[in-house]
Amino acid sequence: MKFFIDTADVAEIRDLAATGLVDGITTNPSLVAKTGRDFIEVLSEICEIVPGPISAEVAAVETEAMLAEGRRLASVAGNVVVKVPLTPDGLKACRALSDEGIGVNVTLCFSAAQAILAAKAGATYISPFVGRLDDIASDGLALISDIVEIYECYPDFTTEVLVASVRHPMHVVDAAKLGAHVATVPPNVLRAMFKHPLTDRGLEAFLADWAKTGQSIVGDGEPAALSPAAEERRRA
């Protein structure tokens, strides 16, 4: 499963990208508005930090205007994926942009029927919103299961299932069990995935035992020795 981070906060992106776990970024107008910065400037900066797909959403609602905005966004960097809503106009724009070789993320998906239409329109990604479905007492993960099952029946469908509106780590785990290709998560959810009380307790015990030895793996002023493989990479 690929991990995208759902944010437009450049500082958060830099920090999480350093873990090596970030495959891409998703943004939307609401996330960009929180930064208080110029949209194109933020998008350009994000594209330089993360080489993977960066979803940037159009603000227009009519096809021709979506196409104009989508082409402008795609011109910012080669890894921009244009995000369009799952509407008739959005799917028309999806088909046109896809035919031009521009990646498209079709967002605001809430049914399997919509996901079929997006795949037929050439979407690179379909974004079902699991959390928002859960909020109205519907089963968001059941939708993921349905879409994955349908897509697997049709080899010509190349659209990847991008699980959105993720609220907690179990959304990610359960979506991974169902075979979803991507989960886009807020920074706090990715950080929560690191945490487990037994990990913290075990590390605390190991450190306490090590302190009793009075030893140091790297002495004061002593440079850390590189492994042979690391030394070879350094010299290359």
Say which residues have a Cβ less than 8 Å from residue 159's Cβ, sequence separation at least 6: 115, 118, 119, 122, 123, 124, 125, 126, 151
Q: Are 103 and 53 in contact (CB under 8 A)?
A: yes
Q: What percent of the chain has pLDDT over 70?
A: 93
Tell me the domain boundaries of the chain: 2-194
Looking at residues 188-216, what average pLDDT do you find?
Answer: 95
Hey, what's the torsion of the CAs at 112, 115, 116, 119, to 10 degrees? Answer: -160
b/e code 97-133 from CB counts within 10 Å (16+ = b) = bbeeebbbbbbbbbebebbbbbbebbbbbbbbbbeeb
pLDDT of residue 208: 94
CA atoms within 13 A on the CB side of 32: 20
pLDDT in tens, 33-69: 999 999 999 999 999 999 999 999 999 999 999 999 9
Looking at residues 157-179, what average pLDDT do you find?
Answer: 98
Q: What band does 29 get if pLDDT is binned at 50, 70 and 90? A: confident
**Exactly one of 2, 34, 83, 120 is catalytic; which is it?**
83
Lowest mean pLDDT among 86-90, 123-127, 210-214: 210-214
Question: With a threshold of 0.75, does the pTM exceed it?
Answer: yes
- The answer on pLDDT for 236 being more than 90 is no
- The answer on pLDDT for 224 being more than 70 is no
- The answer on pLDDT for 175 being more than 80 is yes
Burial of 11 per CB tally in 10 Å (0-12, 13-18, 19+): exposed
- CATH T-level topology, domain 2-194: TIM Barrel (3.20.20)
What length is written for the chain?
236
Q: What band does 218 get if pLDDT is binned at 50, 70 and 90? A: confident
Known catalytic residue: 212? no
Task: Report which of residues 198 and 234 the model is more confident about.
Answer: 198
- Report the distance separating Cα 74 and Cα 57, nearest Å: 11
